[in-house]
Structure 1
Amino acid sequence: MVRLTPTRLLSAAVLAFAFILIAFVSKRLFGERGYQVLLERPSPALFRHPPPKVPFGIECSPFASGVMDDVTIVLKLSASEVKTKLPAYLNRLGRCKQDLLLFSDRKEQRNGFDITDALANLRPEYTYKNPDFELYNHIQQTTGSSEKTPEGWKLDKYKFLPMMELTAHMRPESRWFLFVELDTYINWDNLYRFLVTFNPKQPYYFGSPIWPSGRVTFAHGGSGLVLSRGALNKLVARGRMFAENQNNPGAHLFGKEVSQMCCGDEILGQVLKECGVGIKGYWPMFNGEKPISVRFDHEQWCEAIITLHHLQDDDFINMQQWEADRPHPEKPLTFEELFGYIEPLLTSQTDDWTNMSEDVTFANGDPAAISFDTCFAACLKDTKCMQYEHYGDTCRLSHSIRLGYAHPPEGSTKWTSGWVKNRIEAFKAARSPCHGAHFVHANP
């Protein structure tokens, strides 16, 4: 029998403490994301007056209540989209009477809204002999055309920085600025619940973070990004280093060689960083996916949804109808509830369909890739596998749940997808119901 001497007792205590410490540090470094509960009716930041009661869950509720009068929504689009896509967008959002600014690469008017040319004030040294602006000159000569050109994306990155200065100039009283695109979905109730807890006089830059290797982390534009008045003021102040005429905003590019750079949202992130404003990342609340491509898993379940991306007109219509039928529309929307939007379509086998499985791949003659059935067997052997797909000589497994989309055959190659329903039910049972919507801690 082992004798428990004081030395051995002390050693055992030290060892136990070490295990506890390692577990604590591991959870902090590698465990679940920290969060608070996003209250249905959050208390406003101390600087704010008590807001009126907001009838959450009805169309336009934060706007009809006047609690978002200090928020300007800034929509960036291309000239080709003004005629083809903007009318449906305005039809959906115009009913809410938001404060909406529209920026494009051509000055126009549509449905009573003025569309500002974000590039009109740029000084000639940025545009002269710049091949990217050959398209811009063509656009100015074809007023009213909805012609879409594959080169149109080249102008997009030039709009971001002038658009910021123009927005600050055109809306001097606004306190929050939400920058979105035509395919950005916004849950307005959750956006209000989120913003009301922050002081817009402080320099805030919110969004879904992109982490390029060796470069500045920035907010993904399509997922929607938010700047406070404090952040925009800092950016405008830095712009005075480059602007000769303060009455002509949007005349410069903050000293950036935009023609040599990738994307406007990344360039904006760099300039904000130089202003001392770093991103506060709130993924998955600000999200770059749409309902059919969201990865439902432990990171995207109880978390609140503020934005989604890549929605087309049919997606907006379907989401609007689905939200109207929610059993408790006054509660914050979460991924757990959004899962009900796709769940009826999850089956044990769906032909001509990819469910976007991508965590594990079997190919090149691997036995798992022989057929749909062998792929299913491989999924069952992987205890984390929730779904699988087979095409050609390839089998892919996924540890999260996604719906995906129809994929017709390509020659003799056919896509077939399946979901392991009992594992999905077990996943739900282990995590539901959510006790409140998670308001994740910022990262970074």
Structure 2
Amino acid sequence: MVRLTPTRLLCAAVFLCLFAVTSFVSSSLFGERGYDVLHERPSPARSRPSSPDVPFGEECSPFKAGVMEDTTVVLKMGSGEVAAQLPAYLNRLGRCKQDLLLFSDREAELNGFDIVDALANLRPEYRYNNPDFDIYDRIQQANTTEEKSNEGWRLDRYKFLPMVELAAHLRPESRWFVFIELDTYVNWDNMYRFLLNFNPMTPYYFGSPVWPTGRTVFAHGGSGFVLSRGALNKLLARGRMFAENHKFPGTHLFGKDVSKECCGDEILAQVLKESGVPIKGYWPMFNGERPTTVHFGWEQWCEAILTLHHLGEDDFNALQRWEQARKHPSRPLIFEELFSFIETIIADQVDDWSNMSEDVTYNKGNPAAISFDTCFNACLKDTKCVQYEHFGDTCRLSRTIRLGHQQPADGDRKWTSGWMMERIKSFKARYSPCQGAHFVHPNP
């Protein structure tokens, strides 16, 4: 029998303390993220006046109820997208009677909506000897927006800073600004529920974080990002250091040499951080995938959906029809429910299809890459594998569930995808049903 001396008791206590600390740190760094529950019908926030009940689940419900009158939706696009994509988007958004601000690289008007040229007020020194603005000049000289240069995307990075500054100026009474693009889906019921948790006069910058090595973490623009009035006040205060004329916002780039930077959303994050407004990351609620490319797994299951990205017109229409048929439309939309949007298509084997598996790759020379059957066997041996695809002399495995897309044969290369139906069934049995919509804690 072991004698419990004071020394041994002290050692045991120290060990238990170290174990608890290590477990906490490991859980914080590598475990599941903390979350709160996003209530189906949240209490009114102190920062908003009392409002009537919101008819959640109906089209445009928070706008119909008048509870998002303090929110401006800012839509950024290129001039060539105005005729091609904007009409359909306005048909969806316009029905909601949202407060919309439209920004492009050319002034225009469409169906009663004014489109603001985000670059019109930039000072001449930003354009001097800058070939990017040769493209801008050609766009201004074209007779129609359809004639814009194919290189118009090069102007996109210049739009972010003046667009944000102009939005603050054009909507002085707005308290929240939701920045999106033409291929961004927003679940407005969830967005309203989400924003109720925050005071808009506090500086906030929300989005799906991108973590570039050695550089500022920023919110991915296409996934949508949100700025509070408090954040804009901070940014405008910093802008006065660079503005020659305070009455004309959108005239400067906050001391940034944008021509040498990659992306406008990253540059905006740099300026916000310098203004004292770092990002609060809320992935996967702000999400860069469309429903058919979402990685359904334990990280994206019970979490509430705020945005999705890369949706085409067919995607928007299909998702709208699906939403109209939801069994419980007033409940917050979560990934578990969205999974039913794609679940009926997955099967043991689907030919001419890529399910975009990417976690493990076996190339020529590995037995797993010989055929679809050997690829299946490789997935079977990997206990975490839930799907796989084979094409040519390549086998790929995935540990999350993804639908993917049709992939016609390319010569002798034929794509075939498979899903481990029993493992998917077991996954659902383990994680479903969700007990409420998870509102994840921010990271960073």
Aligning the two structures, in what range does the TM-score lie when normalised by the shorter sequence?
Answer: over 0.9
Q: Output the CA distance in 2 between the equivalents of 1:67 and 1:104.
A: 28
- How far 1:48 moved relative to its partner? 2.9
Look up the equivalent residue of 2:256 and give its one-letter code: K
Mapping for residues 280-319 of structure 1, pairs under 5 Å: 280-319=280-319
Match of 1:410 in 2: 410
Q: Output the CA distance in 2 between the equivalents of 1:285 and 1:411.
A: 40
Q: Is the 8 A contact 1:118 1:159 kept in 2?
A: yes
1:250 aligned to 2:235? no
Q: Is the 8 A contact 1:33 1:440 kept in 2?
A: yes
Q: Is the 8 A contact 1:44 1:197 kept in 2?
A: no
Q: Output the CA distance in 2 between the equivalents of 1:288 and 1:22.
A: 33
Q: Is the 8 A contact 2:106 2:139 kept in 1?
A: yes
Q: Is the 8 A contact 1:407 1:415 kept in 2?
A: yes
> Which sits farther off after the overlay, 135-144 or 393-402?
135-144
Is the partner of 2:72 in helix, strand or coil?
A: strand
Q: Output the CA distance in 1 between the equivalents of 2:119 and 2:59.
A: 34
Q: Output the CA distance in 2 between the equivalents of 1:311 and 1:147.
A: 24
Is the partner of 1:206 in helix, strand or coil?
A: strand
- How far 1:18 moved relative to its partner? 4.3
1:103 aligned to 2:103? yes
Structure 1: unaligned runs, 5 residues or longer: none
Is the partner of 1:146 in helix, strand or coil?
A: helix
Match of 2:381 in 1: 381
TM-score by length of 2: 0.97
Match of 1:89 in 2: 89
Structure 2: unaligned runs, 5 residues or longer: none
Q: Output the CA distance in 2 between the equivalents of 1:430 and 1:283.
A: 22
Q: Output the CA distance in 1 between the equivalents of 2:280 and 2:13.
A: 40
Q: Output the CA distance in 1 between the equivalents of 2:118 and 2:9.
A: 72
TM-score by length of 1: 0.97
Match of 1:263 in 2: 263
Q: Output the CA distance in 2 between the equivalents of 1:200 and 1:135.
A: 38
Match of 1:274 in 2: 274
- How far 1:149 moved relative to its partner? 3.5
Is the partner of 2:145 in helix, strand or coil?
A: coil
Q: Output the CA distance in 2 between the equivalents of 1:433 and 1:441.
A: 21
Is the partner of 1:345 in helix, strand or coil?
A: coil
Match of 1:235 in 2: 235
Residue 18 to residue 239, structure 1, CA distance change in 2 (3 Å): closer
- How far 1:42 moved relative to its partner? 1.6
Is the partner of 1:109 in helix, strand or coil?
A: strand
Deviation digits for residues 116-144 of structure 1 (CA, Å, limit 9, x no counterpart):
11111111111122100111111111132
Match of 2:65 in 1: 65
- How far 1:411 moved relative to its partner? 1.5
Q: Output the CA distance in 2 between the equivalents of 1:145 and 1:17.
A: 66
Q: Is the 8 A contact 1:42 1:197 kept in 2?
A: no
Residue 204 to residue 138, structure 1, CA distance change in 2 (3 Å): same
Look up the equivalent residue of 2:383 and give its one-letter code: T
Deviation digits for residues 297-347 of structure 1 (CA, Å, limit 9, x no counterpart):
110000000000000000000000000000000000000000000000101
Q: Output the CA distance in 2 between the equivalents of 1:322 and 1:377.
A: 35
> Which sits farther off after the overlay, 324-333 or 45-54?
45-54
Match of 1:146 in 2: 146
Match of 1:48 in 2: 48
Q: Is the 8 A contact 1:386 1:401 kept in 2?
A: yes
Match of 1:29 in 2: 29
CA RMSD across the alignment: 1.3
Q: Is the 8 A contact 2:47 2:200 kept in 1?
A: no
Q: Is the 8 A contact 2:375 2:396 kept in 1?
A: yes
Match of 1:194 in 2: 194
Q: Output the CA distance in 2 between the equivalents of 1:10 and 1:165.
A: 60
Q: Output the CA distance in 2 between the equivalents of 1:138 and 1:14.
A: 71
Q: Output the CA distance in 1 between the equivalents of 2:230 and 2:4.
A: 63
- How far 1:410 moved relative to its partner? 1.4
1:123 aligned to 2:123? yes
Q: Is the 8 A contact 1:43 1:197 kept in 2?
A: no
Q: Is the 8 A contact 2:357 2:387 kept in 1?
A: yes
> Which sits farther off after the overlay, 51-60 or 2-11?
2-11
> Which sits farther off after the overlay, 163-172 or 21-30?
21-30
- How far 1:395 moved relative to its partner? 0.5
Aligned pairs, number: 443
Q: Is the 8 A contact 2:139 2:149 kept in 1?
A: no
- How far 1:242 moved relative to its partner? 1.2
Match of 1:177 in 2: 177
Q: Output the CA distance in 2 between the equivalents of 1:315 and 1:139.
A: 30
- How far 1:24 moved relative to its partner? 3.1
Q: Output the CA distance in 2 between the equivalents of 1:162 and 1:258.
A: 12
Look up the equivalent residue of 1:194 and give its one-letter code: F
